[in-house]
Amino acid sequence: MIRNFNAHTNEDRAQMLEEIGVKRVDELFEQIPEEARARLNLKDSISELEAQKQIKKIASKNKTDYIKFIGAGAQEHFIPACVSQIAQRFEFNSAYTPYQPEISQGTLQMIYEFQSMICNLTGMDVANASVYDGATACAESLLMAVRITNIPAVLVKSSLNPEYKKVVETYLWAQDITVKYFENINDLKELNGEYACVLIQNPDYYGEISDYSEIKSFFNGKKTLLAVCADILSLTLLKPPVDYGADIVLGDVQVFGNSLNFGGPYAGYIACLDKYKRQLAGRIVGRTLDADGNQAFTLTLQTREQHIRREKATSNICSNQGLAVLSAAVYMSVMGKEGVKQAAYLSLKNAHTLASCLKKKGIEVLNKDFFNEFVIEVENSDKFIEKMKQEGVLAGVKLGEKRVLVTATELNTEEEIEYYVSKV
């Protein structure tokens, strides 16, 4: 037994503070407003039980029972209780990254089923085991297109999630690849030069659903690829991107069985046509038969630099988001095709009901067609959001001085929608 163990002595602390150029530990927190700092002020030499009680009492001051109409890339959806129960089993927790695929059959089968379900939703031939998140999926898909076409320039629709844009710009800047933005589909008619890929988001960051059935005709026969960042839940109701010529489909699976978690960890997916599978980032799990004729799962493609020669690696992604993908796969399995579709329908229904009620109240809704997110115009977005917060409602995400992005999911009740409208 270790008694009276202290991780750092006063001398250790003094040396570390001197090394980073500050005199007191408190200086490290000066950027945090005083009112936002959590001070426990626990008494010395209290028991663990007493400490827990005091901390719970302090934590109870946090207000967590807001009515939520907030999204912009991370949404709160219903998660069946069995999802976390299965995902937390030690068999998965201890082997979620199949470095030894021959003994990780359960994890590999789960990934294989996840890939299969992503292919069913997107209409693509092949899907990878996942990447870090939707933003990473965007960047890796563009790099993938550049490798396929050998053209160091891409086009991105300006309505892409701004956080995704930042990641795209960072990844492609490091590879000396030009990123150019365009506003609408007609702009593609006037573009000169060669581009590896056109990346669009549908529904886009502002919730708008666009008709891209003719988009490939604007490419003028060039070898430019079409990549679509798609809300995976919306694909249970909307036309799959393969129907309007997508070569690569990508996005985030947070909406499937993953809670908000302060922004992560989440998982991104990338799916593509069969002819491009060897340029996918990450890894692909396949199904085969072992020497005895039994079903077996294995890492079929491992394109990271840890497995193959560095110059042939498609990415430096060293793993997949195993536990987040597990949650997504369990969610899709237990909800089933109709259950997931119903969650999407209820999200759409609630969003359109809220939008209609707000219109009647005199609030302008800026979207023409949308799934479960839409933009409203108010006199002052900061005052509007703060006022609604005081009423116990997270009303949306600020887009500008007068614009707010509002989200509804299947969790929002009729009473909550009525309450939102009554407080506007």
Which among 76, 379, 79, 73 has a CA at the least distance from the CA of 229?
Answer: 73
Tokens of 271: 């799916």
Please give the Cα distance from 110 to 325 (Å, whole number): 8
Q: Which amino acid is at 32?
A: I
Q: Which amino acid is at 12?
A: D
pLDDT of residue 303: 63
Please give the Cα distance from 89 to 100 (Å, whole number): 19
The answer to whether 354 and 367 have CB atoms below 8 angstroms apart is no
- Intervals of the chain under pLDDT 50: 1
Task: Determine which helix (DSSP H) or strand (DSSP E) holds 164, and give its type and residue range.
Answer: helix 162-174
pLDDT of residue 355: 98
pLDDT of residue 92: 83
The answer to whether 159 and 204 have CB atoms below 8 angstroms apart is yes
Please give the Cα distance from 188 to 193 (Å, whole number): 11
Q: Residue 142 in 3-state DSSP? A: helix
pLDDT of residue 39: 74
Convert the pLDDT of each residue in 217-232 to its tens digit. 888 778 899 999 999 9
Which among 235, 413, 246 has a CA at the least distance from the CA of 332?
Answer: 235
Sign of CA dihedral 165, 169, 175, 180: positive
Q: What residue ranges define each of the domains in the chain, with the CATH number in brackets?
A: 67-77+337-423 (3.90.1150.10), 81-332 (3.40.640.10)
pLDDT of residue 318: 62
The answer to whether 304 and 57 have CB atoms below 8 angstroms apart is no
Q: What is the pTM of this model?
A: 0.87
Convert the pLDDT of each residue in 241-293 to its tens digit. 999 999 999 999 999 999 998 878 899 999 999 999 989 988 889 999 989 99
